[in-house]
Chain A
Amino acid sequence: MIKKYLQSAVVFALFSFSSTALADEFHYNNILIGDRASGMGGAYTAVSDDPGGMYYNPAGIAYSTGKNLSASVNAYSVSNRTYKGVIGGQDWTRTSSTLLPNFFGIIQPVGKFKLGFSYAVPDSNQEDQDQKFVRSDIGATHIINFNNKNDTNLFGPSAAVQLSDSFSVGATMYVHKRSTEAALNNSIVSDAGGAYVWSNGYTESDEWGIRPIVGAMWSPVDKLSFGLTVSKTVIFKSDILTQTTISTDTSTLPTRSYDSYTDKRKYPYQVTAGAAYFVNPSLLFSGDLSYYSAFDYTFVNRQNKREAVINGAMGAEYYFNKSWAVRVGLFSDFANTPKIVNDTSDQYEHVDLFGESLTLSHFTKNTSLTCGGSYKYGKGESKVNGGNNGIYDVTANNWTLFVSSSYSY
């Protein structure tokens, strides 16, 4: 029986740190960024003419109107991920909720250039779970305490210039900072008393890098624009600390490990092409296709393989009148992990997501206020035990509410 407890405890010690994720290096569209862009499902590469453009396509800010623009977005994001039947036949659900400053940006013209500075949080989660499962399958009670923080922050300057009436180029140089911290306490106590196993795990990491984004915007004819961006995150410094303590027997000392690493994560090349059709001053359609290259690297003694991904996004914006506008968007968020297969160990979960967004904005002469949200949902598979077999269904969803304001003067 003890062996079963041990298996369960070890399973959880492993999977919460390695095979699964909420904030989420297995997807690239974790949180939509910006004011207008969020409402349009992130289909913004060929629009980008406001502070959000510094993230989507810096060339677009060359067409920003107004002398000075600033925008800030605050978001409340909730993610749920349910692993079907993973704890003795019971589902295990992880929930993250976080209130975060999603974006801030300001643009100013300097001579022929538009210069700007922005701050974006493309990925963030915070899990604080305290769960208890009655395990009739092994006659025990399983308690899980799990705390997990994972934030990616980008901040840096942008510059753009119009080379002609119909063509502009721009660049953003983001500093990339990612911090993670996770603690998992597991205990399984026999309902009959006397037998128990437990495990404690802790890991933290800090990484610094840069993410240059270069972009171009071309408007061959009135009302139609095309955008193209290329970016890649490169890590310069990475510090990782892991601690694990597992006790399987009251009569023997727990097994312990305390390790540090300097492995650097890798990130893909991202190439995004977009098109936008400005039907009239009240209606706008846009679409983006983003390609993320395949790559692999070793991180904390584990081989990470990421496949190439193509995500799509479509958005529309409609002004009922000069004071009110609505935006809608559809987007995909496909997993970059290989599909789960039997007879292979150390596989990361694979969940493909689809999302939609909707926002409502109110404008005055110089200001706008936007409220809205997005919702993502998807299904996939996971191997939470890290072994060769045992594939579990996974459902995932995320909803994000955000309020943003912008000012032009």
Chain B
Amino acid sequence: MKVLSLVALVAALITVQSSILQAVENKGVDWRARSSVADRDRYSDSDTDEELNFGREIAARLLGQYKMSGNEKLQKYVNLVGTTLTQNCSRPELVFHFIVVDSSEINAYSTPGGYVFITTAILAKMENEAELAGVLAHEIAHVSERHIVKELSLKGAEKSAVSSIAALIGGASETVGIAFSQAVDKAVDLILRDGYKKEDEMQADGGAVMLCALSGYDPSGLVTFLDKVGKIKSDVGKTYPVYDVRLATLQRAMSDEGIAGLKLALNTERFVTAMKIPERSVNPLDLIRNVIPGGTP
């Protein structure tokens, strides 16, 4: 009887979760979009390849501006947390890389294709692993939802699109290269200066708490961290929308999704231990080679 009850409970949970995911998926669907238009938001394997190339180029630019942390164990720890989250990511075709950079900015960045950067300053403001997971999940959501790709109207493949234009007008490959480089410049500006659209940030928040919950992390980690950062927002770059609005929206979304009251892992002790790991020198060139195949040595 107990077994039957358990099976029924699991089935009910799966059904509810499926319904939630379906509802999230259907939200905001443009009913005007025709089959051909809807197809523009579908991405093929070649699109993903182009997205990877694009993201790798942006990551190389970012690494030119930030110094990678030499704390190898910290890099490993952050990568473990991040990789755990990506097991439930909606884009299994991507291999995510998590990179800690030495910076006094309280911020985290991500590029198309799955390169996630997190600063030592933001790590210093965290109190547990759930908060770290929340921030990383937020960046993973930006990647999963292709926010940069969509914002720059790359439609999955800037290089392909530009190639198509070049082919149409008989342009040379140099034209393609210039356009690609301009797109990378725009993406870097978006990440470091202009910030995402408010709705993209909200969507990333919503996706992050779901991802945390699915991965076993307490989804409130992101909430508590945003609340904390909001109080010192004068120190934060302008890539985040107004925090009180953002927090209210996130809490409402969590309530709607039925994950507001979940008490899952915080992993405070493990996080504190990881943060205390003494820094050891590491060859940053090796790390770059490891995380960016074919990237800038």
Question: What is A's interface to B at a CB cutoff of 8 Å?
Answer: 49, 63, 65-68, 222-223, 225, 278, 281-282, 284, 317, 319, 321-323, 325, 361, 363, 365-368, 408-409
Contact = CB atoms under 8 A, between A and B. Distances in A.
Contacts of A317: 34
7 residue pairs, one from A and one from B, having the closest CB atoms: A319-B35, A363-B36, A67-B153, A322-B39, A322-B35, A222-B31, A281-B35
Contacts of A325: 34-36
B161 interface: yes
B159 to A, nearest CB: 12
A367 B161 CA distance: 10
- Chain A CB within 10 Å, residue with most, of B35, B42, B156, B164: B35
Contacts of A409: 153, 155, 161, 165
Contacts of B35: 281-282, 319, 321-322, 325
Nearest to A49: B32
Contact of B164 (A49, A281, A366): A366
Given A66-B153, A409-B153, A322 B36 contact: yes
Nearest to B152: A67
B30 interface: yes
A278 B39 contact: no
28 contacts: A63-B32, A65-B32, A65-B37, A66-B40, A66-B153, A67-B153, A225-B32, A281-B31, A281-B33, A281-B34, A281-B35, A282-B34, A284-B34, A319-B34, A322-B38, A323-B39, A325-B34, A325-B36, A365-B40, A365-B156, A366-B155, A368-B36, A408-B37, A408-B40, A408-B155, A409-B153, A409-B155, A409-B161
Interface of A is mostly: loop
Contacts of A368: 36
Nearest to A321: B35
A278 B165 contact: no
Contacts of B39: 322-323, 363, 365
Nearest to B157: A365
Contact of B31 (A223, A321, A361, A363): A223
A65 B161 contact: no
A66 B32 CA distance: 13
Given A67-B153, A367-B164, A278 B32 contact: yes
Interface string B19-56: 00000000000111111111110100000000000000
Contacts of B36: 319, 322-323, 325, 361, 363, 368
Interface string B160-171: 010011000000
Interface residues of B, number: 18
A361 B35 CA distance: 12
Nearest to B35: A319
A365 B163 CA distance: 13
A65 B40 contact: yes
A325 B35 CA distance: 9
B156 A65 contact: no
Nearest to B47: A365
Given A325-B35, A366-B161, 17 more contacts: A49-B32, A66-B37, A281-B31, A281-B33, A281-B34, A281-B38, A282-B35, A319-B35, A322-B39, A325-B36, A361-B36, A365-B40, A365-B155, A365-B156, A367-B164, A409-B155, A409-B165
A278 B153 contact: no
A319 B164 CA distance: 24
Nearest to A317: B34
A367 B164 CA distance: 10
Contacts of A361: 36
Contacts of A322: 35-36, 38-39, 42
Contacts of A321: 35
A182 B42 CA distance: 54
A211 B221 CA distance: 59
A282 B32 CA distance: 10
Contacts of B37: 65-66, 408
A104 to B, nearest CB: 15
Contacts of B32: 49, 63, 65, 225, 278
Nearest to B43: A365
B176 to A, nearest CB: 14
A366 B38 CA distance: 11
Contacts of A65: 30, 32-33, 37, 40
Contacts of B156: 365
Contacts of A49: 32
Contacts of A68: 153
- Chain A CB within 10 Å, residue with most, of B32, B39, B156, B161: B32
Contacts of A284: 34
Nearest to A323: B36
B56 to A, nearest CB: 22
Contacts of A367: 164
- Chain A CB within 10 Å, residue with most, of B32, B34, B165: B34
Interface in B127-160: 153, 155-156
Nearest to A361: B36
A283 to B, nearest CB: 9
Contacts of B155: 66, 365-366, 408-409
Contacts of B38: 281, 322
B274 to A, nearest CB: 43
A363 B42 CA distance: 13
A299 B14 CA distance: 77
B198 to A, nearest CB: 14
Nearest to A319: B35
B47 to A, nearest CB: 8
A66 B33 CA distance: 11
- Chain A CB within 10 Å, residue with most, of B30, B40, B164: B40
A281 B165 CA distance: 27
A301 B33 CA distance: 53
Contacts of A323: 36, 39
A323 B38 CA distance: 11
A325 B164 CA distance: 22
B192 to A, nearest CB: 22
Contacts of B34: 281-282, 284, 317, 319, 325
